[in-house]
Structure 1
Amino acid sequence: MLVKPKAKNARAKRFLVAREAKVVENPKTAIIVRGSSTSQVILDTLKDLYALHKPHAINFTKKNQIHPFDDETGIEFFSRKNDSSLFAIGMHSKKRPHNLILGRTFDYHLLDMIELGVEKCVPIKDVGNPTCAIGARPLMVFNGETFAQDERMILLKSLLLDFFRGEDSDRVSLKGLEHVITVTAGPAGPNGEPGLVFLRTYTIDLKKSGVRQPRVELTEMGPSLDLRIRRVRYPADDMWKQAIRMPKELKEPKVKNITRDGLGDKYGRVHLGKQDISKLQTRKVKALRKRLDSRPAKKQRTE
């Protein structure tokens, strides 16, 4: 367990307060860590991941003796020091060649991570096409049923969405959509294990189409990665409940008897008590008055 630092002066206190939990959190920062032994494939992969995540990314150029599956204290130290909640670690060994680890932390403690083998990498520099602007958020497309069925693929999808989501916004302009990342699940292995995962990145070109909606063309930008899932570490139940808990300020107040359908239309239900129609006040007109014939006849006086 890491000891929480204490403020020694007012400046340090303001610094620690800025790092505390907020109702609306800052964009997640990712640290790109280089292991003690790497290959050119891993170096190109880490460089491109850093380019896609800028400006909310920190690149470690020096070698680090770090193995999060064996000892998680190292990555937790880096997470607290750099105020980051995402990490990507690249390393290379004979047992696990071209190894890439993607993971998340919560409250500077390791939450979950997944180990991937990079079997093929075509970096951005080798493609040579125009790239997107720094800080642009991508469109994410996931192809394959396994992303909703297999637990390892579900975790990979969650990590990739968290890694490339960027800043939250209420509105998106068409001109701001500059690139798209497609993740396709390959055929499963003979024992049911997930197959290769193909990650491709394209730039979006909006062309004139003669109508209001533009014609969309995709141009390969890079990187192009062929990944294979290796080891997985799932989050603990208690930590996961804390990580996905929504603040009270962001919860919509529950309104009774109001529902929405699948199209987003709002419907309200009003409950009325039992009404007595005989006592209902109506307009007093001559046609609604009681006729004289309906009145009881008066008794005649007998002599």
Structure 2
Amino acid sequence: MFSDLRAPSSLEKARPHHKAKNARSKRFLTNRAPKVVENAKTAIFVRGSTTSQVILDTLKDLYALKKPEAINFTKKNEVHPFDDETGIEFFARKNDSSLFAVGMHSKKRPHNLILGRTFNYQILDMIELGVERCTPMREFQTQACAIGMKPLMVFNGEGFGTDPQLIRLKSVLMDFFRGEDADMVSLKGLEYVITVTASPPSANGETGLVFFRAYTTSLKKSGVRQPRVELEEMGPALDLRVRRVRNPVEDMWKQACKVPKELKQVKVKNISRDGLGDKYGRIHLGKQDINKIQTRKVKALKKKLDDRPAKKQKTDSAAAE
């Protein structure tokens, strides 16, 4: 995989310790306390003070894809994350969320969508997108996927490996739809696919459009063991353009990506794995004497008569007489 930004690990709740007064508050604090393996990240979807129908449809469909780890705010809120962080950080602390999506609309920035992440209830990074076109899920005749399913995400385009803005967008989107960690993948459980395609940059160097599409999967008979997979567009279909990006502070990013000691693999001496997961071991043997190794008794390996010890040669001569 190309050099991609690491998504913040599960160690994302470095909170001060509070003493519980009763059993209910103890359960509440235990649920929010740092864990070795964290729960799936929750996202909040916030409406700005002024919104458009395009933004409302976008937030509604993204909320439908993110459920049940999502909280939708139906009332208008005076939030501007790039100008004032306090509003989003307050909502993140109150709802114990690590992801947020804010939709707003203005003459300067029409159909504006902001996606971001928080660490320790502080904004880690965020990216501002302009929704050029939105085809909501209700306009597609395809049946929507079940709630809580993990998607297969496909990123197309060279920009996701070279353009810093698109690399940041890929990292944020993967964190949004990551869900809970899974050790194995079942084809029957893979109900929908999200594709994100980046168009080539324009002649003046500006980042092109980013096409966000979602498809449902259906398994058909193929005559072999593996079924034939067909895709049917489910929606939403979004045409996005990157406007502004806020990168994380280096120290906060390192702390967010820190892996707990319990999850680090203990390195075993002389044992390694290749890219496919096959295990290889290296065995160290002592010095070997070739003359003592039992080999096939072929004529080429037998000692010559002159090379044998003198006592053995004398015995053979006496036997010949």
Would you call these one fold, judging by a TM-score over 0.5? yes
Which of 105, 110, 115 is the equivalent residue of 2:118?
A: 105
Distance across 1 between alignment mates of 2:180 and 2:151? 11
Q: In structure 2, what is the equivalent of residue 9 of structure 1?
A: 21
- Superposition pairs for residues 1-303 of structure 1, below 5 Å? 6-7=18-19, 9-10=21-22, 11-275=24-288, 293-294=312-313
- Cα shift readout 1:192-225 (whole Å, capped 9, x = no counterpart): 1210000011110111112111111111100000
C-alpha spacing 1:206/1:250, structure 2 compared with 1 (3 Å): same
214-223 or 97-106: bigger deviation: 214-223
Q: CA deviation at 1:226?
A: 0.2
Distance across 2 between alignment mates of 1:293 and 1:137? 80
- Cα shift readout 1:124-169 (whole Å, capped 9, x = no counterpart): 0111321100111111010001001010000000001110111111
Write the letter of the residue equivalent to 2:21.
N
5+ residue gaps, structure 2, are 1-14, 295-307, 316-321
Report the RMSD for the aligned CA atoms in angstroms: 2.3
Same amino acid, percent of matched pairs: 71
162-171 or 185-194: bigger deviation: 185-194
Q: CA deviation at 1:119?
A: 0.6
Q: In the comparison of the two structures, how many residue pairs are matched?
A: 290
Q: CA deviation at 1:8?
A: 5.4
Q: CA deviation at 1:295?
A: 6.8
Write the letter of the residue equivalent to 1:215.
R
TM-score (norm 2): 0.84
Q: CA deviation at 1:186?
A: 1.1
Q: CA deviation at 1:107?
A: 1.2
Distance across 2 between alignment mates of 1:262 and 1:73? 44
Write the letter of the residue equivalent to 1:9.
K
Write the letter of the residue equivalent to 2:128.
E
Distance across 2 between alignment mates of 1:133 and 1:225? 21
5+ residue gaps, structure 1, are 283-288, 297-303
TM-score (norm 1): 0.89
Write the letter of the residue equivalent to 2:177.
F
Write the letter of the residue equivalent to 1:64.
N
- Relative contact order: is structure 1 or structure 2 higher (C-alpha 8 Å, sep ≥ 6)? 2
Q: In structure 2, what is the equivalent of residue 300 of structure 1?
A: none
* Paired residue secondary structure (2:176): helix
Q: In structure 1, what is the equivalent of residue 302 of structure 2?
A: none
Distance across 1 between alignment mates of 2:78 and 2:19? 30
* Paired residue secondary structure (1:76): helix
